[in-house]
Amino acid sequence: MEQHLDHFMNFLSVERGLALNTLEAYGRDLARYLDFLEQQAVAAVDDISAAHVLGFLSMLKSSGLAPRSRARSLVAVRTFHRFMVAEKIAAANPADRVESMRLKQALPDVLSPREVERLLAAPREATPIGLRDRAMLELLYATGLRVSELVGLKLGDVQVMLGCLRTLGKGRKERLVPVGEAALVALQDYLSDGRALLGKQQAGGYLFLNRSGNGLTRQGFWKIIKRRALQAGIRKNITPHTLRHSFATHLLENGADLRAVQAMLGHADISTTQIYTHVTRERLRRLHEQFHPRG
């Protein structure tokens, strides 16, 4: 079973091109699944039944795993078995008989346009760090990039004269994203007066560098946006994804086409983008309740 898992992980990495974080999640979920099967004395692939899959999910629930994490584990198990059927390792997929867990879709947190302005204005200092932070925040809000896409940008990925950037999204799919004027100005300030002073190594040609001259990590930017939000007096629980959510929501509120927003966000399925139409409707409902005399 472990050998089949190794082949499956290689398939996800090489042929599907999944991101490292996604691969690690698959690996954790399936290692836990194989441990469960071993405890059940299941030795052969074709001995696995739907009852075993249900028993695994029940075990996850008993251990206190959240519904969303259990649903992710079921997806991993189902995909693993589907791979084994396709490779003729197994005759059937026992997980196909197990219904997917239906989760209540939580609406993402977004910032108001005024809160965004406060956040973007927080890095006031004309230092390399201040210029870098301002450029990163402006660029994130202007493009709706994922944080992994932002920190992974190389110098050659941004075409300042053309007003756009190139990024590799999930599944290593390339897309071009337009960049607004305010973000371009902040980026030019950082490139001319900040980046070269952050370090001498500048390894890998990354656009955004830490104090040592190396590329920033996702965790590093997480700390930056938390610190800048506090500095701006914003008490909401802000993450890098909050600016991505705000980018999409504000575009739709101002009349942008849903398909255009889907393309800019890099969503493979438009149903993923449609969550933001729910956000805008919910916001309108709250405004109506707050300001209408009979709300």
The 3-state secondary structure of 54-100 reads HHHHHHHHHCCCCHHHHHHHHHHHHHHHHHHHHCCCCCCCHHHHCCC
Which positions ≥6 away from 237 have C-beta within 8 Å? 109
Angle between helices 275-291 and 240-253 (to 10 degrees): 70
Closest Cα to residue 180, out of 209, 145, 215, 208? 145
- Distance, first Cα to last Cα, the chain: 59
Residue 91 near residue 85 (C-beta atoms within 8 A):
yes
The reply to whether 226 belongs to the active site is no
Active-site pick, 28, 78, 241, 283? 241
φ, ψ (nearest 5 deg) of residue 268? -70, -35
Cα separation of 72 and 193, whole Å?
Answer: 45
Active-site pick, 70, 72, 132, 146? 146
Active-site pick, 82, 226, 267, 283? 267
The reply to whether 244 belongs to the active site is yes
The reply to whether 190 belongs to the active site is no
The reply to whether 72 belongs to the active site is no
The reply to whether 267 belongs to the active site is yes
The reply to whether 146 belongs to the active site is yes
DSSP labels, 219-253: HHHHHHHHHHHHHTT--S---HHHHHHHHHHHHHH
Active-site pick, 72, 132, 244, 250? 244
Neighbours of 97 (CB within 10 A): 12
Residue 242 near residue 236 (C-beta atoms within 8 A):
yes
Cα separation of 97 and 54, whole Å?
Answer: 10
Neighbours of 285 (CB within 10 A): 11
Active-site pick, 32, 166, 170, 283? 170
Question: Could you give the residue numbers annotated as active site?
Answer: 146, 170, 241, 244, 267, 276
